[in-house]
Every structure is written in C-alpha cells, then in structure tokens.
Amino acid sequence: MAIGGAGLMSPSGPLLREFVFSLSARQRPRVLYLPTASGDAAEGIAAFYEAYPASRCHPNHLPLFVRKAEDLRPLILEQDVIFVGGGNTANMLAIWRLHGVDTLLKEAWEAGTIMCGSSAGSLCWFEAGITDSFGPQLAQLPDGLGFLAGSNCPHYDSEVLRRPVYRAAVESGFPPGLAAEDAVGLHFVDRAFHEAITAKPGGRAFRVECPGGEVSETAIPARYIG
C-alpha cells in the first residue's frame, strides 16, 4: 500500500489504517513502524502509538539512529504489517542499506508481510521516484528498493511542483509510473497493481507514461473507503 501522503494523525489516518488491517488475516495484527525517514523523531513515534493503539494491533517501532537490537531479523520478520513514515527518502534508504534493513524488508515482504507507508513510505518501494530529499525544488530518486516496477510520485495535489516535475522527468526518460494525491493509496498484490483507494471524497491517482515521446497522464478510478 503506497499512500500519496497522509499524516498518522490526519483525518484520513484511521480509514487508511483500517483498510490496511483488512488485508491481514489477524484481528489484531503485529505492526512495526519504521521512523527512519524522520530521523527517528520522538513526536512521530508518539503519533504512531496514538494512531495505532494496542486496542487495534500489537504496535512496535524500530529505531536505527540509537539502535537497540543487535539482530534485526526476528523483529522485522515476525510482523504482519510494516508501516514506513515520511521524511527524507534518500537518507532513509542509505541508512536501511547500511544496517541491512533493505534485505530484511524484502525477505519479510516475500514471506507475506504487508508493506505500507506514506510519502517516503510510498515511493521507497518503487524503482524510482520524485523526492524532496535534496531540497525543496524536488529531484529524481533513481535507486528505490525496486520491489515494485516503475516510478512513484506522492503529494500530487498538495505540493505544486510535484506534477510538473514528475511529468517532465517521465518525458525525459525517467521510468513511467503512478502518482497519488494525499489520502490516496495504491494497493498492489505481489508486484501487480490491484486498485486505488481514497480516504477522502474525490481523491485521485494517475498513471504517468510517455508513449511515442509525449508524456500522458491517465486518471485511475479510486474507490472511496469512507
């Protein structure tokens, strides 16, 4: 579930959480929060435990800036859901690779763990994406985890530069892919795109391609889950 943008405590948060939980076989799934992109910010971790209460799941988080677990494999592989928070995607990927988290995430995903996240937690699963990791003008990120083919662009309606920068990148040879507005989720089953869902009325997703050398943007119907 790649979510275009939605804060943990945003109005769309509970709807998106319950949709993700509906994909799990467990009534109270085990959920691991990865706050790496925000530098393990304490306020983000606190927001996670408020948004994912013990009454609905078994919440946990993995800090890497002050690492407490020597062996990360059991913690990551025992989860039903892994949620990746927003922030600096490039920094997050570099830190994951340094600690071997990228390899463990792939192992968990291939074993059936539900992977999800918003913003940085959306585009990290793809081969490439559009990021603000290097400054406010946005840039191309060519080295995502590559679990999903193509590229991704979150915040398609809330940040004015996202659409033109993504379209120009795809037109110049950047991998085509999917864009999502805030509160809109792109649901994949294995590596295949399944559907777009939205936690706000009228939320949209788009397929951005460049057939014949000219960029095109095709709206994807998004199912309202409210």
Q: Give the pLDDT confidence of 92-149 residue by residue, as tens digits.
A: 999 999 999 999 999 999 999 999 999 999 999 999 999 999 999 999 999 999 999 9
Angle 89-99/101-110 helices, nearest 10 degrees?
90
Q: Grade residue 153 by pLDDT with cuts at 50, 70 and 90.
A: very high
Judged on CB neighbours under 10 Å (0-12, 13-18, 19+), 195 is: middle
Angle 13-22/42-51 helices, nearest 10 degrees?
60
Q: Grade residue 32 by pLDDT with cuts at 50, 70 and 90.
A: very high
From residue 88, alpha-carbon distances to 36, 118, 159, 186 in Å are: 8, 12, 16, 20
Structure tokens that stand for 206 in this block: 């788009």
**Which helix H or strand E contains 130, and what residues bound it?**
strand 126-131
Residues 6+ apart with CB under 8 A from 84: 34, 36, 37, 92, 115, 116, 117, 118, 120, 121, 124
Amino acid (one-letter) located at 202:
G
pLDDT at position 208, please?
Answer: 98
Q: Grade residue 20 by pLDDT with cuts at 50, 70 and 90.
A: very high
Mean pLDDT over residues 188-209, rounded? 97
Structure tokens that stand for 57 in this block: 């799941």
pLDDT at position 179, please?
Answer: 98
pLDDT at position 113, please?
Answer: 98
Q: What are 155-176's pLDDT values in tens digits?
A: 999 999 999 999 999 999 999 9
Report d(CA 73, CA 69) in Å as an integer: 10
Q: Tell me the pTM.
A: 0.96
Q: Of 138, 128, 115, which Cα lies nearest the Cα of 177?
A: 128
CATH of 2-224, one of 3.80.10.10, 3.40.50.880, 3.20.20.100, 3.40.50.12140: 3.40.50.880
pLDDT at position 224, please?
Answer: 98
Residues 6+ apart with CB under 8 A from 174: 128, 140, 151
pLDDT at position 21, please?
Answer: 97
Q: Of 37, 136, 39, 131, which Cα lies nearest the Cα of 88?
A: 37
Q: How far is CA 169 from the centre of its chain?
A: 20
Judged on CB neighbours under 10 Å (0-12, 13-18, 19+), 76 is: buried
User: Annotated active-site positions, please?
Assistant: 119, 155
pLDDT at position 87, please?
Answer: 97
Mean pLDDT over residues 22-43, rounded? 97
Q: Grade residue 1 by pLDDT with cuts at 50, 70 and 90.
A: very high
Mean pLDDT over residues 66-86, rounded? 96
Q: What are 34-60's pLDDT values in tens digits?
A: 999 999 999 999 999 999 999 999 999
Report d(CA 31, CA 114) in Å as an integer: 9
pLDDT at position 173, please?
Answer: 97
